């Protein structure tokens, strides 16, 4: 994804802030709130600069945000095999990696890998994703204390 330098830097700054706040938060719903900045900032940018890959990133982040939001509600019953903490820790790691990706203008292959990780976290937060995790097909590292 070849973005103008000012857009790349704007995303890097916002992503770094969101990732830092996600890392600091202990409340699941607050972590997800800061995760929303990842796609919301893209929404602002595409109002005046269009990039197909940027929109792909937006849609992937937004869909994952939706499933993480549902999973993070205080009244939500945890699905068997899905640890909220593990999924939210992985989402935080992804936010940090996206910030680094934008800061360093990494190759598109790295972005494609990140898109896959984003989608995997979102999918794992669904009932069928929980089933697939129970089967051991999707795995994430547990959060470190």
DSSP code of residue 57 = H
Query: What band does 140 get if pLDDT is binned at 50, 70 and 90?
Result: confident
Q: Which tokens sit at 2?
A: 């070849």
CA distance 12 to 100: 7
pLDDT single digits (tens) 51-79: 999 999 999 999 999 999 988 876 666 66
φ, ψ of residue 138 in degrees (nearest 5): -115, 130
CB 94 within 8 A of CB 64: no
Query: Whole-model pTM above 0.85?
Result: yes
CA distance 112 to 81: 27
- N- to C-terminal Cα separation, the chain: 35
pLDDT of 99 over the 70 cut: yes
Q: Given this model, what pLDDT does residue 40 score?
A: 97
Q: Residue range 96-114: average pLDDT?
A: 89
Q: Which tokens sit at 145?
A: 């204390």
Q: Given this model, what pLDDT does residue 143 score?
A: 59
Continuous H helices in 25-126: 28-45, 52-72, 84-104, 108-124
The whole-chain average pLDDT of the chain stands at 90
CB count within 10 Å of CB 13 equals: 14
Q: Which tokens sit at 122?
A: 């979102």
CB count within 10 Å of CB 14 equals: 20
């Amino acid at each position: 994804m070849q973005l103008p330098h000012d857009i790349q830097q704007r995303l890097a700054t916002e992503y770094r802030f969101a990732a830092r706040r996600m890392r600091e938060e202990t409340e699941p719903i607050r972590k997800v709130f800061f995760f929303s900045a990842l796609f919301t900032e893209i929404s602002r940018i595409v109002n005046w600069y269009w990039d197909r890959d940027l929109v792909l990133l937006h849609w992937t982040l937004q869909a994952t945000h939706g499933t993480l939001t549902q999973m993070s509600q205080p009244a939500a019953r945890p699905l068997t095999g899905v640890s909220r903490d593990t999924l939210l820790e992985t989402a935080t790691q992804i936010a940090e990696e996206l910030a680094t990706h934008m800061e360093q203008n990494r190759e598109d292959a790295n972005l494609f890998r990140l898109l896959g990780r984003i989608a995997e976290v979102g999918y794992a937060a669904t009932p069928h994703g929980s089933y697939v995790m129970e089967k051991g097909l999707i795995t994430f590292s547990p959060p470190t204390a």
